[in-house]
Structure 1
């Protein structure tokens, strides 16, 4: 394709992130078609027009269906709240559009199954916004594991923490409602599970616990509403490859801003990674003299593709939005039938299956087989 027309539905944090990626992908990578920002959809016409001007879209609409119906739109970026994904995603695929949908797929597993079926039936490309797998450090860790640099893996620990729900006096908002899903389990845990998916494969068996640090939240000056979702979740895991693991997620962790901490332990060493310092990782090798053994900090640089497309010098660092630009480039590669590092709807469905198995484990207070 010489050019590709983009439609964007939703212009919050992730909507802006998608727009920045679409604007940056050609200058950064070069080997992609001309990008046309065609049509933007928002909740009302005034907001849609303002965001279209800010983000560079040609048209604006207060009806998401108009974005999907636009014949100039080839691919839709869907960045609306979780509960709106199924209807919009299925409509886009049935209209013959490629789809870039933010995670998670849907609050209900049956809805996620319907989305995956729609993607298969459409013959179009449908991928999910798991941008952390695009980190140059994570990509290099994946190659180290494939080369068995730290030997056979025996255990992994992964955590995701933020503090945007840590304040007990913060008001109730949509992520506290059951219509958004379980809470931290599907809002957060899907990101660590995406890393597990690309680094190790599928989860086989889980045991999960969830908790609410605050039972209710204020709605206005006098009224409060019950919190319907769980801000904290912990799980024991057995992977299909035999590796054991633990997962812990917390949306109420004061002091944690964007932490995804990964610890991988093998027979010959270990690897540590933290998303809050995602331009570096630590490598420990048990070889050599004990007196000199210790963790080495490895800074990301042009040797860790595709870092060099952004910055020609090591140690200068990429940012969160750069990961989205990498993801956008991977999406365009898949549309062009080239190899791509992405999580499609069928793979995403397995992550959703794991999340719902964890929720079932909590409800039934027992180990659950994921498949």
Structure 2
């Protein structure tokens, strides 16, 4: 393993701060990690960049992200800028010989996502996407339950993701309402549950999808209103390559839902339930239990559920959102060292993008669409 990793950060909003916390914590939580140097940070203007560098602990700051990419002290570039800027930033970083940790989704346009994946393959560098929900100890335990056949043959999968940050029809228009940011909930949200589907069950074969725009316009600063260009709600039926039927529902306008990813996995011998708002718990129902005692049991995350024990030595105390990012950072570093890692690289991420764009095409054409995955 390398002795030191120099980190560059582009974007210091919610996810940029999450990346920073992860880079700072990973060496404390996990043993035998390399030294991490927070080398260079970029923001939209010099003053903001300087303030964020002081707050986050980066050695240098700039208003030009290309300066971060070109910095010889930077080995890995964390990209937490808005979606539309991902392609140019990612490709420039890879061509400069940097590894990349980019937030999801890859890009609003599928052609740009393809270019990013080609650039990653050509560079020989590690390029991973920020799908942190697959990292939780509870989700890893679900993976083991499925691998062990605990609930038998899978009959159906249902998965949902809901938040309410766009539920208020009078909330201000912002960049996620612009078409250049993508389709809306479909690629802003649905990629997260699709990452879970990918890890637990593999690829999606066919989809039929509908999208909805509950509020056609929103107020803008200074007065007036602007037409909304993205869809806050999407629903899809899916058939997985394994033959499992599945449903997907996502909404950014669901009052009361704050960070919900709800999973229901129905099998021939039981059921697994999970809700991201209670992501230190898994609900398990097994038909093998005595008839008079059958019912859902709650499994609390504990040190026996890796990597929970690296954070907390006692069961039931619970991890948090930023801890998942620290686990993701650890997996990235393991991949940098050549070890197996639980990550979604750009090739796997491109398959998720294929599914999203097939869903958008289904909505436009009002029919089932085959997801055109290339031959293995």
Judge same fold: TM > 0.5, yes or no. yes
Structure 1 Cα separation of the partners of residues 161 and 114 of structure 2? 26
Q: CA-to-partner distance for each residue in 1:139-189, whole Å, 9 max, x for gaps?
A: 010011001000011100000000000001101000000000000000000
Superposed displacement of residue 223, structure 1: 1.1
Aligned to 1:279: 280
Structure 1 Cα separation of the partners of residues 209 and 269 of structure 2? 30
Superposed displacement of residue 220, structure 1: 3.1
Superposed displacement of residue 237, structure 1: 0.3
For 2:171, what is the secondary structure of its paired residue? coil
Superposed displacement of residue 289, structure 1: 2.4
| Unaligned 5+ runs, structure 1 | none
Structure 2 Cα separation of the partners of residues 289 and 348 of structure 1? 43
For 2:155, what is the secondary structure of its paired residue? strand
Give aligned pairs, total: 371
Superposed displacement of residue 288, structure 1: 2.9
Aligned to 2:73: 72
Give me the TM-score of the superposition, normalised by structure 1: 0.99
For 2:214, what is the secondary structure of its paired residue? coil
Superposed displacement of residue 32, structure 1: 1.1
Aligned to 2:320: 319
1:284-363, aligned counterparts within 5 Å?
A: 284-363=285-364
Q: CA-to-partner distance for each residue in 1:284-340, whole Å, 9 max, x for gaps?
A: 001132211000000001010000000000000000000000000000000000110
Aligned to 2:190: 189
Structure 1 Cα separation of the partners of residues 288 and 35 of structure 2? 50
Q: CA-to-partner distance for each residue in 1:81-137, whole Å, 9 max, x for gaps?
A: 000000000000000000000000000000000000000000000000000000100
Superposed displacement of residue 221, structure 1: 4.9
Aligned to 2:109: 108
Structure 1 Cα separation of the partners of residues 23 and 48 of structure 2? 20
For 1:73, what is the secondary structure of its paired residue? coil
Structure 2 Cα separation of the partners of residues 94 and 146 of structure 1? 39
1:119 aligned to 2:120?
Answer: yes
For 1:246, what is the secondary structure of its paired residue? strand
1:148 aligned to 2:149?
Answer: yes
Structure 2 Cα separation of the partners of residues 96 and 182 of structure 1? 31
For 1:99, what is the secondary structure of its paired residue? strand
Give me the TM-score of the superposition, normalised by structure 2: 0.98
1:137 aligned to 2:138?
Answer: yes
1:147-166, aligned counterparts within 5 Å?
A: 147-166=148-167
1:8-27, aligned counterparts within 5 Å?
A: 8-27=9-28
1:115-264, aligned counterparts within 5 Å?
A: 115-264=116-265
Structure 2 Cα separation of the partners of residues 79 and 204 of structure 1? 30
1:81 aligned to 2:43?
Answer: no
Aligned to 1:99: 100
| Unaligned 5+ runs, structure 2 | none
Superposed displacement of residue 8, structure 1: 0.3
For 1:167, what is the secondary structure of its paired residue? coil
Q: What do you get for the CA RMSD once the two structures are aligned? A: 0.6
For 2:9, what is the secondary structure of its paired residue? strand
For 2:239, what is the secondary structure of its paired residue? strand
Once the two structures are overlaid, the 10-residue window that deviates more, 299-308 or 218-227, is: 218-227
Once the two structures are overlaid, the 10-residue window that deviates more, 120-129 or 219-228, is: 219-228
Structure 1 Cα separation of the partners of residues 297 and 3 of structure 2? 45
Superposed displacement of residue 260, structure 1: 0.1
